[in-house]
């Protein structure tokens, strides 16, 4: 079992974001989280990615309850989970190479980090180049990251995630800021990588059609609760319509 | 300025709208601030009194000589074999540069080190980190206090103290520059780091990095452009400070300026001023260029050829990456010039030894003698408070306060405040003329109707002249302005105020000008589209949206002006600087001198605190 949530609730102050979530994701599974803005998708992903500790209930990643872990073990767990935030978290004024190398910080020591600031070995460069080839932007190896388009920066973030050799990839709304064609090719890339490397994949998104096309499991979230958890074929029309229905008092 | 026939109607409607919608609170805030500034200015003018009559002019010809700088000595009575004028001033210019390089090469590493400890961005967070944070806090406080103390004493005063303590070596001058600059660099570096958007940092932690690793790999590269740009600006300041050290006897160009003025050799004087100006303006322009390049993407000039193997492709990609040239050139030039400054002998360049050969016994004797004289008189016999020496010291300090200290403090504050307000009011009037956004044929590229080529040229000239004015006014150090103005106008507070104001005007011109250039353009463009004039756009859009940032910079400059004002008094006006000078030169009462120095430092510490609190509350808005 790769990721497991038991009776999970989370509140930010008095605001309840997630209510009693039960969820289990297997190793190598591909899951799409669908839901309207403010439904708790990002919070759920952040809890799965050990960024947040839930206020109630338990979360288990890769077989361990992350709340029980020491600082060192938490670090080790984190290196196995690659979280791609919505804002990507790239350093804008350095090269693509450096941003991707930052993905490997958890696995090397402080001295290595200092050494990398001054000198990057051939082996490291080769490895980064190969990852960029897989994500289709190999010619951007030495370019300044903020000179790339939004879609290209997404691919840098994915390459950075792969550099970690992760067991889990969590992507928070990777397609919200790019055009439909590029969104499609990005989701194709993510699902392909997940299948090839047997990496557990959980992606939150708005585009239901795209999710249905590429993900074998769809989880619908609304107001902090799971509304459905089905393969696309079994998804009923009312279920998906109800998800995005705006009631008069709800301004989203 | 061309107005559409609709403009009067539109602006009335704008005023109505702004009254209704902007809300009373905000409008009153700005108006109240400006009223307070005027009131403060009036108070300062009242306190400082009117300017006394000009003394009979021995300074005729001073301004005429501006047009005829000379390259040869004006003195008629030089001994044979004396160094000719041009050689002498070039040597002094080289010394000025040399001391700057040495001082900065000490201040930058020290500033980085202290800045690291003054920053909180690398602290671990989370439940496991409470103990570390508890231990880090006192360290953080200690470092911040040290750096504030270092920079609250002006470099000229450091020079006076260190020259008396350590003797007249070139290295002493460099240390005097390096100490306050380390404090400033540490503070600014830590602020740059702490104010970075930390998204990449947070992500690194998520992927398992330790706080230190994340700090080095994300925050440091992100902060680099601002830190590098600021360092170059500090170097420019160090040139000015190095020049001014000449006024306390160190052989930089300030020494010649003083001598030429005292001897009424005005042609020589103007040559020296022009030389200093040229050097500083070159550094200023380089700084602007560096900032632009570090913050933008270099254009691609070479295409990457196809290659056969991965290794080759990586190599050719690296070779054809678009890169700016200037950062690299500057880096190598800086390293080279720093090496030459430290070890000129290695290249066969004749220069003074940094530390003159005097016996160790001499120097340590000198230091202990100095420390004795520095201790307040009552404490010298009874340093641990015996025989009521503490009470005596308190009485001694109180006496100094009642006789000179209080008056000097108030004068210093009044001069600084008056200068800052005068420069702010002038800046508000002058800046739009130099703004690339406003002062052009089609402001903000909003088409404004047919205009003649002459109008186009006029607009461009306003911009160039204004920006040139700002560059020139900030290139000359305040101390030199003050020195010359006192020579022309006589001794009173006002030459010092004007000196501070002119220099500050140049700096505000640049800082505030940048704020305006960086404003988002949709709002002012909308005003222009609906018929506003440039003036209306400036008053109703640019000023309101920049006001808070203007005030932040104004407080920061007030701090700096207070520092400068304490020192300008050394030129003869009853501020702290005067008493420092008197205690040093006439009575050799170093303990009294220390009292005034500490008083000045305390004032700056308080001013710093006020400024930080005010800036924080402004940022929240």
Of B202, B210, B314, which has the smallest distance from its Cβ to A89's Cβ? B202
> Helices in chain A by DSSP H: which ranges?
41-48, 71-80, 96-101, 110-118, 122-135, 150-163, 180-197, 208-214, 237-243
- Residues of chain B contacting residue A49, judged by C-beta atoms under 8 Å apart: 206
Decide which of B437 and B11 is more confident.
B437
Domain-embedded: residue A242: yes
Q: Which of residues 70-109 of A touch B (CB under 8 A)?
A: 70-71, 75-79, 81-83, 85, 87-95, 98-99, 101-103, 105-107
Q: Select, from the ranges B10-24, B235-249, B388-402, the one with the highest average predicted confidence (pLDDT).
A: B235-249
Q: Output DSSP code: residue B59.
A: -
Q: Does A150 touch chain B (CB under 8 A)?
A: no
Q: Are residues B108 and B200 in the same domain?
A: yes
In chain B, what residues touch A144 (CB-CB under 8 Å)? Answer: 297-298, 322
Q: How sure is the predictor about B240, in pLDDT bands with cuts at 50, 70 and 90?
A: very high
Q: Are residues A6 and A71 in the same domain?
A: yes
Specify whether B184 is located in the same domain as B329.
Answer: yes
**Contacts of A96 by beta carbon, 8 Å cutoff, 6+ apart:** A132, A137, A140, A141, A142, A143, A145, A148, A156
Relative to beta strand A217-222, strand A225-230 is antiparallel
* Structure tokens given for B372: 């004795």
Whole-number pLDDT of residue B155 = 92
Cβ neighbourhood burial of B262 (10 Å; 0-12, 13-18, 19+): exposed
Cβ-defined contact of A93 to B298 (cutoff 8 Å): no
Q: Tell me the residue range of the domain where A174 lies.
A: 1-80+168-247
pTM above 0.90, yes or no: no
Question: Do A102 and B210 count as a contact with CB atoms less than 8 A apart?
Answer: no
DSSP B300: P
Chain A environment of B203 (Cβ under 8 Å): 83, 85, 88-89, 102
Q: Identify the pLDDT of residue B138.
A: 93
Same domain, B429 and B342: no
pLDDT digits (tens, 9 = 90+) for A4-18: 888 888 888 888 888
Phi, psi torsion values for A59, nearest 5 degrees = -130, 135
Using only C-alpha atoms, what is the Rg of chain A? Answer: 18
Residues B451-471: tens digit of each pLDDT: 889 988 998 999 999 999 999
Nearest to B199 among A87, A105, A147 (CB): A87
What's B3's DSSP letter? Answer: -
On whether residue A46 sits in a domain, the answer given is yes
B220 in contact with A, Cβ within 8 Å: yes
Q: Dump pLDDT digits (tens) for B188-224.
A: 999 899 888 899 999 999 999 999 999 999 999 999 9
Does B218 contact A87 at a Cβ distance shorter than 8 Å? no
If one compares B429 and A67, the residue with the highest pLDDT of the two is B429
Q: Which residues of B touch A90 (CB under 8 A)?
A: 200
Q: What is the DSSP letter of B8?
A: H
Residues A240 and A176 in one domain: yes
Q: Does residue B244 lie within any of the structural domains?
A: yes
Q: How confident is the model at residue B613 (pLDDT cuts 50, 70, 90)?
A: confident
Highest mean pLDDT among B45-54, B83-92, B371-380: B83-92
Distance from CA of A14 to the nearest CA of B (A): 21
> How far apart (Å, rounded) are the C-alpha atoms in residues B314 and A120?
13
- Nearest C-alpha neighbor of A61 from the set A42, A80, A44, A36: A80
A99-151 pLDDT, tens digit per residue, is 999 999 988 888 888 898 888 999 999 999 999 999 999 999 999 999 999 88
In 10 A of CB B281, how many CB atoms? 16
- Arithmetic mean of pLDDT over chain A: 89
For residue B1, name the pLDDT band (cuts at 50, 70, 90).
very low
Helix/strand number for chain A, H first, E second: 9, 10
Q: What are the distances in angstroms from CA B106 to CA A63, B103, B178, B185, B283?
A: 53, 5, 6, 11, 20
Tell me the two tokens of residue B490.
Answer: 């006589």
B357 domain residue, yes or no: no
Mark whether A153 and A179 lie in a shared domain: no
Collapsing DSSP states into helix, strand and coil, what is residue B79?
coil
Q: What percent of chain A has pLDDT over 70?
A: 97
The answer to whether the CB atoms of A139 and B310 lie below 8 A apart is no
CA distances to A100, A101, A102, B313 from A125, rounded to whole Å, are 10, 9, 13, 11
Over residues A179-217, the pLDDT tens digits come to: 888 899 999 999 999 999 999 999 999 888 899 999 999
**What pLDDT sits at residue B3?**
55
Same domain for A153 and A130, yes or no, is: yes
A144 and A179 in one domain? no
Share of chain B above pLDDT 90, in %: 33
Domain assignment present for residue A120? The answer is yes
Please give the pLDDT value at position B268. 87
Tell me what pLDDT residue A65 has. Answer: 85
Proportion of chain B above pLDDT 70, given as a percent: 92
Q: Are residues A183 and A233 in the same domain?
A: yes
Q: What CATH number did the domain enclosing B599 receive?
A: 1.10.3720.10
Last residue of a domain, one of A117, A147, A165: A165
Q: Indicate whether A111 and A157 sit together in one domain.
A: yes
pLDDT at B334: 94
- Chain A within 8 Å of B200 (Cβ-Cβ)? yes
B138 with B222, same domain? yes
Coil, strand or helix: which one is B449? Answer: coil
Residues A104 and A226 in one domain: no
If one counts every other C-beta atom within 10 angstroms of the C-beta of residue A217, the result is 16
Nearest to B314 among A81, A88, A141 (CB): A141
Distances (CA, A) of B530 to B8, B14, B113: 11, 10, 53
Strands A64-65 and A81-84: unpaired
Instruction: Give the CATH number for residue A172.
Output: 3.40.50.300
Domain membership flag for residue B159: yes
Q: How far does B31 lie from chain A, in Å, by closest CA?
A: 38
Please answer whether residues B604 and B145 qualify as being in contact, where contact means their C-beta atoms are separated by less than 8 angstroms. no
Interface test with B, best of A61, A70, A87, A113 (most B CBs within 10 A): A113
Assess if residue B332 is contained within a domain. Answer: yes
Helix (H) or strand (E) holding B607: helix B590-620
Q: Decide the pairing of beta strands A56-61 and A64-65.
A: antiparallel
Summarize the confidence of residues A61-90 as an average pLDDT. Answer: 89
Question: What value does the mean pLDDT take over residues B573-601?
Answer: 79
If contacts are CB pairs under 8 Å, which of residues 161-220 in chain A contact chain B? 164
Instruction: Determine the pLDDT at residue A186.
Output: 92
Q: For B468-503, write each residue's pLDDT tens digit.
A: 999 999 999 999 999 888 888 888 888 899 999 999
Q: Domain end: A135, A165, A195, which one?
A: A165
Is residue A176 located within the same domain as residue A53? yes
Domain total of chain A: 2
Q: In chain A, what's the furthest Cα-to-Cα distance?
A: 60
Q: Does one domain contain both B334 and B448? A: no
CA distance A131 to chain B (A): 12
**Is residue A85 situated within a structural domain?**
no
Distance from CA of B133 to the nearest CA of A (A): 15
Residue A221 located in a structural domain? yes
Whether residues B304 and A164 touch (CB distance < 8 A) is answered with: no
Tell me if chain B has a CB within 8 Å of the CB of A148: no
Size of interface A-B (CB pairs under 8 A): 115
Q: How far apart are CA A128 and CA A140, in angstroms?
A: 11
Contact A75 B217 (CB under 8 A): no
Is the per-residue pLDDT at B339 higher than 60?
yes
Are B416 and B549 in the same domain?
yes
Answer whether residue B517 is part of any domain: yes
Contact at CB, B206 and A130, closer than 8 angstroms = no
Per-residue pLDDT tens over the stretch B546-575: 888 888 888 888 888 988 988 888 787 777
With respect to residue B212, please indicate whether it lies within any of the assigned structural domains: yes
Query: How far apart are the CA of A60 and the nearest CA of chain B, in angstroms?
Result: 16
- ipTM of predicted assembly, 2 dp: 0.91
Nearest to A28 by CA among A48, A1, A4: A1
Query: Once rounded to an integer, what is the mean pLDDT over residues A49-74?
Result: 86
Are the C-beta atoms of residues B274 and B260 closer than 8 Å to each other?
no
Residue B111, pLDDT score: 96
| Residue A82 pLDDT > 80 | yes
As a whole number of Å, the CA-based R_g of chain B is 27
Question: How far is Cα A188 from Cα A193, in angstroms, rounded to an integer?
Answer: 9
Tell me if A94 sits within 8 A of B218, measured CB to CB: no
Residues A174 and A69 in one domain: yes
Residues A114 and A127 in one domain: yes
Domain tally, chain B: 2
Asked if pLDDT for residue B31 goes beyond 60, the answer is yes
Does A252 map to a domain? no
Interval B123-132 mean pLDDT:
81
- Of B460, B464, B495, B466, nearest to B481 (Cα)? B495
* Distance between CA atoms of residues A114 and A112, nearest Å: 5
Q: Are strands A64-65 and A168-172 parallel, antiparallel or unpaired?
A: unpaired
Contact B515, B324 (CB under 8 A): no
Of A105, A139, A165, the residue that ends a domain is A165
The answer to the question of residue B241 being in a domain is yes
For residue A127, what are its two tokens? 């490895």
Total number of residues shown for chain A: 252
Do A28 and A153 reside in the same domain of the chain? Answer: no
- Output the CA–CA distances (angstroms, integers) from residue B342 to B156, B170, B245, B339, B346, in the order listed: 22, 11, 19, 5, 9
Average pLDDT, chain B: 85
> Which tokens is B366 given?
């000198």
B359 found inside a domain: no
What gap in Å lies between CA B15 and CA B270, rounded to an integer? 50
Q: Structural domain of residue B498, as residue ranges?
A: 399-620
Nearest chain A residue to B299 by CA: give it: A147
* pLDDT tier, B620 (very low <50, low <70, confident <90, very high otherwise): low
């Amino acid at each position: 079992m790769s990721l497991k949530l038991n009776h999970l609730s989370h509140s930010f102050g008095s605001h309840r974001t997630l209510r009693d979530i039960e969820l289990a994701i297997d190793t190598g599974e591909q899951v799409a989280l669908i839901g309207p803005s403010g439904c708790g998708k990002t919070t759920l992903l952040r809890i799965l990615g050990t960024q947040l500790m839930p206020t109630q209930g338990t979360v288990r990643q890769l077989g361990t309850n992350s709340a029980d872990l020491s600082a060192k073990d938490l670090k080790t767990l984190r290196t196995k989970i690659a979280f791609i935030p919505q804002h990507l978290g790239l350093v804008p004024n350095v090269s693509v190479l450096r941003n991707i190398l930052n993905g490997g910080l958890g696995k090397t020591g402080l001295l290595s980090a200092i050494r990398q600031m001054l000198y990057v070995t051939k082996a490291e460069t080769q490895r980064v180049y190969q990852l960029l080839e897989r994500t289709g932007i190999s010619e951007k190896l030495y370019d300044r990251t903020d000179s790339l388009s939004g879609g290209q920066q997404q691919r840098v973030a994915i390459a950075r995630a792969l550099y970690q050799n992760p067991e889990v990839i969590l992507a928070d709304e990777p397609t919200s800021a790019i055009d439909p064609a590029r969104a499609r090719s990005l989701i194709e890339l993510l699902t392909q990588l997940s299948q090839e490397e047997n990496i557990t994949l959980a992606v939150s998104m708005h585009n239901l059609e795209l999710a249905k096309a590429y993900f074998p499991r769809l989880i619908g979230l609304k107001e902090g609760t799971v509304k459905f958890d089905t393969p696309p074929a079994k998804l009923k029309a009312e279920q998906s319509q109800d998800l995005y229905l705006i009631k008069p008092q709800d301004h989203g | 300025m061309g107005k559409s026939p609709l403009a009067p109607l539109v602006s009335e409607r704008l005023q109505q709208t702004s009254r209704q919608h902007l809300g009373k609170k905000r409008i009153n805030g700005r108006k109240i601030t400006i009223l307070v500034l005027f009131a403060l200015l009036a108070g300062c003018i009242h306190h400082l009194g009117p300017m006394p009559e000009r003394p009979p002019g021995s300074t005729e010809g001073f301004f005429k000589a501006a047009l005829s700088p000379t390259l040869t000595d004006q003195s008629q009575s030089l001994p044979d074999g004396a160094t000719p004028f041009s050689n002498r001033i070039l040597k002094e210019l080289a010394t000025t540069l040399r001391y700057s390089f040495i001082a900065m090469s000490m201040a930058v590493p020290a500033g980085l080190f202290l800045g690291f400890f003054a920053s909180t961005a690398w602290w671990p967070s989370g439940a496991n980190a409470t103990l570390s944070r508890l231990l880090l806090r006192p360290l953080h406080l200690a470092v911040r206090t040290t750096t504030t103390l270092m920079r609250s004493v002006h470099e000229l005063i450091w020079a006076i103290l260190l020259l008396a303590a350590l003797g007249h070596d070139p290295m002493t001058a460099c240390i005097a520059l390096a100490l306050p600059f380390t404090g400033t660099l540490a503070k600014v570096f830590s602020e740059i780091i702490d104010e970075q958007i930390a998204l990449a940092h947070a992500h690194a932690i998520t992927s398992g990095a330790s706080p230190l690793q994340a700090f080095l790999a994300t925050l440091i590269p992100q902060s680099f452009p601002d830190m590098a740009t600021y360092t170059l600006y500090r170097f420019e300041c160090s040139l000015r400070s190095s020049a001014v050290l000449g006024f306390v006897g160190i052989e930089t160009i300030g020494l010649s300026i003083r001598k030429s003025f005292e001897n009424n050799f005005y042609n020589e004087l103007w040559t020296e001023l022009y030389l200093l100006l040229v050097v500083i303006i070159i550094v200023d322009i380089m700084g602007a260029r560096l900032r632009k390049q570090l913050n933008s993407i270099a254009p691609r000039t070479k295409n990457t050829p196809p290659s056969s193997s991965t290794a080759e492709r990586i190599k050719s990609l690296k070779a054809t990456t678009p890169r700016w040239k200037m950062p690299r050139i500057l880096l190598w030039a800086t390293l080279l010039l720093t090496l030459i400054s430290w070890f000129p002998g290695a290249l066969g360049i004749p220069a003074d030894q940094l530390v003159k050969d005097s016996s160790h016994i001499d120097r340590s004797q000198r230091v202990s003698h100095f420390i004795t004289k520095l201790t307040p008189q009552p404490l010298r016999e009874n340093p641990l408070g015996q025989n009521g020496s503490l009470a005596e010291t308190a009485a001694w300090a109180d006496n100094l306060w009642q006789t000179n200290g209080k008056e000097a403090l108030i004068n210093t504050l009044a001069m600084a405040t008056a200068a800052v307000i005068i420069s702010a009011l002038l800046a508000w009037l002058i800046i739009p003329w130099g703004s690339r956004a406003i002062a052009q044929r089609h402001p903000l590229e909003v088409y404004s109707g047919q205009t003649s080529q002459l109008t186009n040229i006029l607009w461009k000239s306003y911009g160039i002249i204004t920006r040139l004015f700002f560059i020139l006014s900030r290139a000359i150090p305040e101390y030199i302005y003050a020195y010359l103005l006192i020579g022309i106008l006589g001794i009173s507070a006002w030459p010092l105020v004007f000196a501070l104001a002119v220099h500050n005007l140049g700096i505000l011109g640049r800082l505030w000008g940048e704020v305006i250039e960086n404003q988002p353009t949709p709002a002012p463009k909308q005003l222009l589209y609906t018929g506003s004039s440039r003036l209306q756009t400036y008053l109703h859009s640019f000023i309101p949206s920049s006001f808070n940032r203007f005030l932040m910079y104004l407080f920061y400059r007030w701090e700096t002006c207070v520092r400068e004002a304490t020192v300008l008094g050394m030129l003869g006006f009853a501020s702290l600087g005067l008493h420092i000078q008197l205690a040093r030169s006439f009575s050799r009462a170093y303990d009294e001198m220390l009292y005034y120095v500490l008083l000045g430092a305390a004032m700056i510490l308080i001013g710093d605190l006020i400024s930080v609190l005010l800036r924080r509350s402004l940022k929240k808005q």
